[in-house]
Copies of this chain bind each other. A is one copy, B any other.
Amino acid sequence: MLKITRKVEYALIALRHMQSKNVDELTSTKEIANQYGIPQQLLAKTLQQMARDRILEAVQGPAGGYRILAKLDRISLKDFFEKLEGPLGMMDCYFESDCIQISACNIRVPIQRINDNLRNMFTQMTLQEVTQ
């Protein structure tokens, strides 16, 4: 429980790598995959998604690659995680209302308390803070 996924891991590695370069400089998937021993195809998908989410900018063609597009100090860790993984909650019943046993359930409030604290925490941390 509470494990970070590879997708998020690879995304953080890539961001941190790009942060060590000049802002306009491009980084290819291959470069990162080789340097950190990451499956290239999988990393590619992650970077593509980040480009769709306007965190990165993609440049196609040879000598292409990615560079950081967004202001990382404006993106909370919560938003970052949710962009990559979907809604951030410790239980689905936090979002869905079709739990079969919802009427009998006695821990909705407890779970909500934990969830709220968790979300608060990740809302207060920015990507910049974490990756700088």
**Residues of A at under 8 Å CB distance from B?**
1-5, 8-9, 12-13, 16-17, 35-37, 77, 81, 85, 88-92, 100-101, 104-107, 110-111, 113-114, 117-118, 121, 125, 129-131
Contacts and interface: CB of A to CB of B under 8 A. Distances in A.
Contact of A16 (B2, B106, B121, B125): B106
B1 A3 contact: yes
Nearest to A92: B3
Given A2-B2, A90-B2, A107 B9 contact: yes
Contacts of A105: 13, 36
A101 B39 CA distance: 13
Contacts of A88: 1-2
Given A1-B5, A4-B90, A36 B125 contact: no
Contact of A107 (B12, B37, B89, B92): B12
B4 A36 contact: no
B13 A106 contact: yes
Contact of A104 (B5, B36, B81): B36
Given A2-B81, A16-B106, A118-B121, 19 more contacts: A1-B2, A1-B4, A1-B8, A1-B88, A2-B90, A4-B91, A9-B107, A9-B111, A12-B110, A13-B106, A13-B107, A16-B107, A17-B106, A36-B106, A77-B114, A113-B130, A114-B130, A117-B121, A118-B118
